[in-house]
């Protein structure tokens, strides 16, 4: 048991799950429950539910589920002990004595400390004679010393082991250094070398101020030009954004999405502190969902070259699916934000502000791109453009927004608005049906995948599993039924090994006089917790009665009598089996 029962019970009581989640999710009441858009995946229709009676949450879209502790673990990327500490501090509670298993928590803490020490080392090196190439590069990019300090930029010396030696002297083990991806094992297998060498270093800082990773730009023509930390226990590049720690405090409900570190830093220096960038990967849905927590609108500011345009086209639906408004900022002459600001000199900030104000939304941007693909002086060119435009407008969820663009195009091309609107509405209805089918298939795939990860054996019948799940939920909701159940069933009659483990666990807790669900975050994996809460919400949705319990017991008894392989049974075994079946049906 990770923490004392009483401590966890008080911790949950003093950290109301609705209050905690409402600081991340906009919630509305629906009956006794609260609903909102899931913070863990992009969606437009709320499928994220808070069940106030059980102090739990469950998302019907992605299957995320748990209690207040598991929510904080997932939303803040913390392990169990860190999440408990976070909630204890919030509630003003003292942590109990360290008599719990916190090995992963200790490893994560050491990685944070090693990263922080590495950032200090890189900055100190940048400001030393050894870092002159890096400092010259940054000054050449027109960055001030104030900006360099603000972002904690640094320099990794052109040495095989400078950082590794420094961190070992500070007491960090080679295991911590390699797990943090600051060092890598030598090919010989003996000792470690630095991952970053002869590079300008960009620390990546999370929303709580921890240094979680690094990006480094090489000082030569070697490839890759930029090298980023791989995923570690404290960092997943697909779920983080560079400089979001600055942007979230900018006071803006918009975010400026740039391609790279230097673009973000340059526009920050020019006074636009709401800029962020993805971390060496194309924009992900996880990053879009993260942005939605801090902004209502994203302004895409990618490079104007072909690669930048493709990245823009790919990012637009990802951002829209996360419920974000989207605008696209076009920089003239194919420049990126950093180049544009440098070229404008002292006038750069005002010139960039003018571009921001002129930036159109993503629909206007995409319509303009479509126009360039067709010869609008020819009837067939106009028809082809309007058909493509209809497909684009059909993707818009808002009927008002669809009507605005339909009116504009019908007036511009002197066509019947109703004809264009009918085609758009038909396309929209078809797209919605396709999207719902796709979502259902994905949901079924995700949930079946989760079940596959949590079921140790796949040969269990659905009838048996449903009854066993129902009985476990009944036991959780009616702890006083334990002795009655134990008189009629033995654990060995369960055919699903995972549900049997749940039954054993909750039976023991009830027998010990403990609240059944109090400590499952510590005692089960994330997938297992989700399975338990999915069971709870599925079976509690239908009123469970003593008759329900009798039916569960009857099915479990019947299913447990079924032989695994009738072909291997003797005549006596077969006769005994069918006799039991006839008896059960009486």
Instruction: Write out the DSSP string of 524-541.
Output: S-HHHHHHHHHHHHHHHT
Please, what is the Cα angle at 90 between 530 and 29, to 5 degrees? 55
Q: Which fold has domain 5-91?
A: DNA Primase; Chain A (3.90.580)
Pick the CATH number of 462-585 from 3.90.550, 1.10.860, 1.10.3470, 3.30.2010: 1.10.860
Q: What angle do CA 375, 380, 386 make, to 5 degrees?
A: 80
CA distance 259 to 279: 9
323 close to 302: Cβ distance less than 8 angstroms: no
pLDDT of residue 372: 86
CATH topology of domain 244-367: Dna Topoisomerase Vi A Subunit; Chain: A, domain 2 (3.40.1360)
Distance CA(355)–CA(330), nearest Å, equals: 7
pLDDT of residue 583: 52
Specify the pLDDT at position 456: 46
CA distance 360 to 229: 35
Per DSSP, the three-state class of 30 is strand
Q: What is the CATH number of domain 104-235?
A: 3.90.980.10
Q: Taking Cα atoms as reference points, which of 239, 242, 255 lies closest to residue 202? A: 242
Rounded CA-CA distance 232/34 in Å is 34
User: Does residue 224 have a cis peptide bond before it, meaning omega lies within 30 degrees of 0?
Assistant: yes
What does pTM read for this prediction?
A: 0.76
- Whether the Cβ atoms of residue 311 and residue 257 lie closer than 8 Å to each other: no
> What is the C-alpha separation between 142 and 145, in angstroms, rounded?
10
User: How many CB atoms neighbour CB 219 within 10 A?
Assistant: 17
Average pLDDT for runs of 10 along the chain of length 586: 83 94 92 91 88 89 92 91 93 81 84 98 97 96 96 96 97 96 90 96 95 95 90 93 94 93 96 92 89 93 85 91 90 84 92 91 88 90 91 85 89 90 86 70 55 50 89 94 95 94 96 92 89 86 85 91 54 49 48
pLDDT at 215: 96
CB 50 within 8 A of CB 33: yes
Q: Which parts of 77-199 fold into alpha helices (H)?
A: 80-91, 103-126, 132-140, 145-151, 162-169, 174-179
Q: What is the DSSP letter of 224?
A: -
Confidence at residue 574, expressed as pLDDT on a 0 to 100 scale: 44
Degrees to nearest 5, angle at CA 70 with 67 and 73? 150
């Amino acid at each position: 048991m990770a923490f004392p029962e009483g401590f966890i019970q008080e911790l949950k009581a003093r950290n109301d799950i609705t209050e905690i989640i409402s600081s991340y999710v906009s919630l509305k009441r629906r009956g006794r429950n609260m609903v909102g858009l899931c913070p863990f995946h992009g969606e437009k229709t709320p499928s994220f539910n808070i069940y106030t009676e059980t102090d739990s949450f469950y998302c019907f879209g992605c299957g995320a589920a748990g209690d207040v502790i598991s929510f904080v673990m997932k939303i803040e990327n913390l392990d169990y002990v860190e999440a408990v500490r976070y909630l204890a501090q919030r509630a003003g509670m003292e942590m109990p004595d360290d008599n719990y298993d916190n090995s992963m928590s200790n490893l994560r803490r050491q990685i944070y400390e090693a990263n922080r020490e590495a950032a200090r080392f890189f900055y100190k090196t940048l400001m030393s004679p050894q870092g002159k190439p890096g400092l010259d590069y940054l000054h050449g990019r027109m960055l001030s010393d104030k900006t360099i300090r603000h972002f904690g930029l640094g320099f990794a010396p052109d040495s095989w082991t400078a950082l590794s030696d420094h961190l070992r002297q500070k007491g960090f083990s080679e295991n911590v250094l390699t797990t943090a991806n600051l060092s890598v094992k030598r090919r010989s297998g003996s000792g470690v070398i630095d991952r970053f060498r002869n590079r300008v270093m960009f620390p990546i800082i999370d929303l709580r101020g921890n240094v979680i990773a690094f990006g480094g730009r090489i000082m030569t023509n070697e490839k890759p030009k930029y090298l980023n930390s791989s995923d570690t226990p404290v960092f997943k590049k697909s779920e983080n954004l560079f400089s979001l720690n600055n942007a979230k405090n900018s006071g803006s409900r918009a975010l400026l999405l740039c391609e790279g570190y230097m673009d973000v830093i340059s526009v920050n220096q020019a006074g636009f502190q709401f800029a962020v960038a993805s971390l060496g990967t194309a924009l992900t849905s996880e990053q879009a969902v993260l942005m939605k927590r801090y902004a209502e609108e994203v302004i895409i500011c990618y490079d104007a070259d072909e690669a930048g345009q493709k990245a823009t086209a790919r990012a637009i639906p990802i951002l829209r699916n996360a419920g974000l408004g989207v605008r696209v900022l076009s920089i003239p002459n194919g420049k990126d934000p950093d180049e544009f600001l440098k070229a404008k000199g002292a006038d750069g900030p005002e010139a960039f502000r003018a571009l921001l104000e002129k930036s159109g939304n993503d629909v206007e941007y995409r319509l303009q791109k479509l126009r360039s693909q067709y010869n609008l002086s020819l009837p067939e060119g106009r028809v082809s453009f309007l058909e493509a435009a209809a497909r684009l407008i059909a993707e818009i969820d808002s009927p008002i927004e669809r009507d605005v663009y339909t009116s504009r195009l019908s007036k511009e091309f002197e066509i019947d608005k109703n004809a264009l609107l009918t085609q758009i509405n038909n396309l929209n209805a078809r797209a919605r049906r396709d999207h719902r089918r796709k979502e259902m298939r994905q949901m079924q795939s995700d949930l079946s995948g989760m079940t596959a990860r949590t079921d140790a054996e796949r040969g269990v019948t659905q009838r048996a599993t449903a009854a066993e799940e129902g009985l476990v939920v009944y036991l959780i909701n009616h702890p006083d039924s334990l002795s009655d159940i134990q008189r009629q069933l033995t654990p060995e009659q369960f055919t699903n090994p995972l549900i049997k483990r749940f039954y054993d666990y909750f039976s023991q807790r009830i027998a010990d006089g403990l609240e059944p669900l109090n400590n499952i975050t510590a005692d089960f994996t994330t997938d297992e917790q989700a399975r338990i809460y999915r069971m709870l919400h599925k079976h509690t949705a239908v009123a469970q009665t003593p008759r329900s319990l009798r039916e569960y017991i009857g099915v479990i008894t019947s299913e447990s009598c079924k032989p695994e392989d009738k072909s291997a049974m003797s005549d006596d075994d077969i006769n005994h089996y069918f006799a039991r079946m006839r008896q059960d049906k009486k």
